[in-house]
Structure 1
Amino acid sequence: MRTVLVSGGGIAGNTLAWWLARHGFRSTVVERAAGQRSSGAPVDVRGPAAPVVEAMGLLEPLRAAATSVTGARLVDAAGATVARFPMGFERPAGRTELEIPRADLAAILHRAAADEVEFRYDDTITALTADTGGVDVTFARGEPRRYDLVVGADGLHSTVRRLAFGPAAEYVRHLGVWVAGLPLGGPADDPHDVLLYNTPGRLASVHPARGEAMAAFIFRGPMVDGFDHRDVGRHKRLVVEAYQGERGWRVPELLDRVRAADDIYFDSVSRVHLSCWSRGRIVLVGDAASCVSLFGEGSSLAIAGAHTLAEALAGGEHGAAFRRYEAVHRRRTELKRRAARYVAGLLVPRTRVGLATRDAAARALARVRPATPGPPPAR
């Protein structure tokens, strides 16, 4: 039985581990965190991910955990609605499209894999030594082990990518936008609407999520010298500084929440580009290989990519399998990569003219496709 070490217990890693177990591999998932994370912004499960989760028998638990969002409202400084428009695309009969908190999605995938996969929490890889027969892995806490294959499913700041391919600076490009988010500790006033407030180069929003609303900040800015994605104190300061002096809508209240928070999500909107996603017996999947944005669809690409990799590995020798996986999945990610700057332009226009143009387009869309408040359509 071939052995596989998967670094990262998130969406890509858990999906991959489930499919590898189905194909007769013995998988271990190593995760730096002490357990499954309990927070995370809502993400989408649709497109190429839909048939994968359906084949895993997970549609019902995913539907039960989905949000009830049907639309978004642009609001002005006083909180008045500028435009309201539908979220997502039309859903033809039989198409599965879900929005679900990221942590809930990862937890559901984890529970599906837990009986057949070894999970090692509160640990991380510190060294990889590969040869023609396997990969010797050194861990920060656990005993060294040898595996037939190693997969980096450990996100934008991938340890496996750094160890096997080189420093992040060679492959990761900041797209000039930052994202922050934190839970608000209670439900939103309206469970069906995402609220969006813009000034040039800045967005503040409240998403109803599922029971516990979440605040998000998206703003434009250059890469920060010496940025550390684990430095929560600095993250909080960067958010507060970016919105300094903004008094409109709920921004002062939300900034107070940031100051008081023990933890917030904060990261660069970045693109990862490598000429090849594998080296020898080591391969990357999900954001570690091809992060294109932090605007929601990375989860669907992670699920689809993990499934494609597992199916390719089930077909035989790892080198040919890695090439088949990359050939198929790179086409999917390329389409999303091209759209990243366009989406950023819609969410966070740079200028007042850009804001006015975006708002006019949103009002036109609302007239063509009105989003009626109420329960979401059947999924």
Structure 2
Amino acid sequence: MQKVLISGASVAGPVLAYWLRQYGFEPTIVERTPALRHGLGGHAVDLFGSGVEVARRMGIDEAVQAARTRTEWMTLFRNGKKPVEINVDKLSSGISDRHVEILRGELTSLLYDATRDRVEYLFGDSIATLNDDGHGVDVTFEHGEPRRFDLVIGADGMHSTVRRLAFGPEESMRRPLGGYLGVYSMPDELALGNRMFVHMEIGKIASTYGVHQTGQARAAFLFRRQEELRYDYRDKDQQKRILADEFRDYGWEVPRLLKHLDAAEDFYFDSITQITLDSWQRGRIGLVGDAGYCPGPAVGGGTSLAVVTAYVLAGELAAARADLPSGLRNYENKIRRFVDLSRAVGPKVMGSIIPGSATALRAVPLVASVLPHLPLWAQRKVWSQNGVGKALDSLPLPDYSDLVRVPQS
């Protein structure tokens, strides 16, 4: 069997490994996070349209539905204004008739469970060097013994190690959108249940929502910055200080949220940045998901994009089994329009979810409260204006079932 090394065990990596195994490949996933930390935390993410269909074809759709966040109502707060109540289910139905909101950690765990018995996982390790000689790729690891693979795929997120080693430094590939996102778990002191509280100011959002699976809550923060912040993306203590400084004088319920920041073990913080490579393959090395074309955390539908493109990548590699580099090129051609549409969504969504002016601060709650009451066709039309619905539902899934060599368990 042809051996494929996948770097990253979050979303795109396990989806890719699942389908490669179905098609008779021998996938191995290397993941920097130790096994005991894998799948913990993460913010709420969305699966739309084709992403939901991939989950169905993997046989995990019922588990995904059962793990959905179940957030039913969102209350929008603004200083000096009456709170606005919004039906979340009706609001999201205007984007796609197939939609699941799920915590990223929950989705990661479900994907791991679907692959753990048939895919080799190397936890607590990372790729150190790559040498593509045209016939295979020699790989050294930070801890494990060197190995040789027929193909290497980077599914290791916005700060991809594979991309850095094979495509060059990250700096030249980044397109910052001017925003930052911070998320972590905390006790549900506000008794949120299935409700979300969101407080908005110009350039900033503080929010918290209940997590029914654990009885806890998530605190989530978004803010804008004209000048890009400089920090180490692996230094969580430094990132916590940045977030605390940014919201220290915010008011509302933020002091209650921030008192749990230091103790948070599942803290996530990053810039809302796009990755803008023109090509996602170099010989026998390729990229999938955020590693290749991150549309921007929280604004571009990156989770659905990762699921769908990983499915397509596996199918195209199976179709071109005798010529894997050709399979990478075919995958690139098939997904390019989908990626371009998702990439175009990010800046538009950034402009609407983090108010940049007093006018936007007034408009966001108004639009969000009116939309769920419009006829479905009218909601779809509104969402299509900024490209959200079009991007997230735009790629019809190819049928690769004739390539399956291993019966689905």
TM-score, shorter chain, exceeding 0.5? yes
The answer on 1:13 being equivalent to 2:18 is no
* Contact residue 185 and residue 264 of structure 2 kept, 8 A: no
- Note the 1:92-171 alignment, pairs <5 A: 96-171=98-173
CA contact (8 A) 1:68 1:191 kept: no
Bigger mean CA offset, 5-14 vs 326-335: 326-335
Tell whether the 8 Å contact from 1:29 to 1:117 is kept in structure 2 after alignment. Answer: yes
Matched, 1:246 2:250: yes
Q: CA 1:110/1:72 → structure 2, altered by over 3 Å: closer, same or farther? A: same
Matched, 1:223 2:228: yes
1:347 is aligned to: 353
Aligned pairs for 1:22-37 (under 5 A) are 22-35=22-35, 36-37=38-39
Q: 1:42·1:209 contact (CA, 8 Å) conserved in 2? A: no
Task: Please state how far the C-alpha of 1:117 moved relative to its aligned partner.
Answer: 0.7
- Displacement of 1:212 in angstroms is 2.4
1:281 aligns with 2:267: no
Question: Which residue of 2 is the match for residue 69 of structure 1?
Answer: 71
C-alpha deviations, 1:271-310, integer Å up to 9, x for none? 0011110001000001001100211721111110110000
Identity %: 37
Q: Which is worse superposed, 186-195 or 157-166? A: 186-195
Q: Secondary structure at the match of 1:224?
A: coil
Give 1:315's match in structure 2, choosing from 305, 316, 319: 319
Q: Distance in 2 between matches of 1:338 and 1:49?
A: 19
Q: Please report how far the alpha carbon of residue 90 of structure 1 lies from its aligned counterpart in structure 2 after TM superposition.
A: 4.4
The letter of the residue matching 2:22 is R
Asked whether the equivalents of residues 83 and 362 of structure 1 are also in contact (C-alpha less than 8 Å), the reply is: no
**Contact 2:2-2:150 within 8 A present in 1 as well:** yes
Unaligned runs of 5+ in 2: 377-409
**CA 1:364–1:181 in structure 2 vs 1: closer, same or farther (change >3 Å)?**
same
Q: Residues 204 and 221 of structure 2 are in contact (CA less than 8 Å); yes or no, is this contact kept in structure 1?
A: yes
Output aligned runs, 1:320-335, within 5 Å.
Answer: 320-335=326-341
What secondary structure does 1:268 align onto? strand
Whether the 8 Å contact between 1:75 and 1:83 is mirrored in structure 2 is no
* Alignment match, 1:360: 366
Instruction: Give the residue type in structure 2 aligned to 1:279.
Output: R
2:4: which partner in 1?
4
Question: Runs of 4 or more off by more than 6 Å in structure 1?
Answer: none
Change (3 A) 1:96 1:82: closer
Q: TM-score, normalised by structure 2?
A: 0.85
Distance between the aligned counterparts of 1:369 and 1:190, measured in 2?
29
- State how far apart, in whole Å, the 1-side matches of 2:198 and 2:239 are: 21
Aligned to 2:199: 197
TM-score (norm 1): 0.91
Say which is worse superposed, 4-13 or 251-260, in terms of deviation. Answer: 251-260
Kept in 2, the 8 Å contact 1:5–1:27? The answer is: yes
Q: Work out whether residues 76 and 197 of structure 2, in 8 Å CA contact, stay in contact via their aligned partners in 1.
A: yes
d(CA) in 2 for partners of 1:79, 1:34:
46
Equivalent residue in structure 1 for 2:56, among 54, 57, 69: 54
Q: Is it true that 1:261 corresponds to 2:264 in the alignment?
A: yes
More off after superposition, 347-356 vs 10-19 = 347-356
CA distance in 1, matches of 2:241, 2:120: 38
Deviation at 1:91, TM superposition (A): 8.7
Distance 1:345-1:209 versus aligned 2 partners, 3 A rule: farther
Q: Is the 8 A contact 2:192 2:217 kept in 1?
A: no
Q: Distance in 2 between matches of 1:79 and 1:105?
A: 37
Identify which of 39, 42, 46 aligns with 2:41. Answer: 39
Going from structure 1 to structure 2, the CA distance change for 1:11 and 1:204 (only over 3 Å counts) comes to: same
In 2, are the aligned partners of 1:85 and 1:369 still within 8 Å (CA)? Answer: no
Give the total of aligned pairs: 366
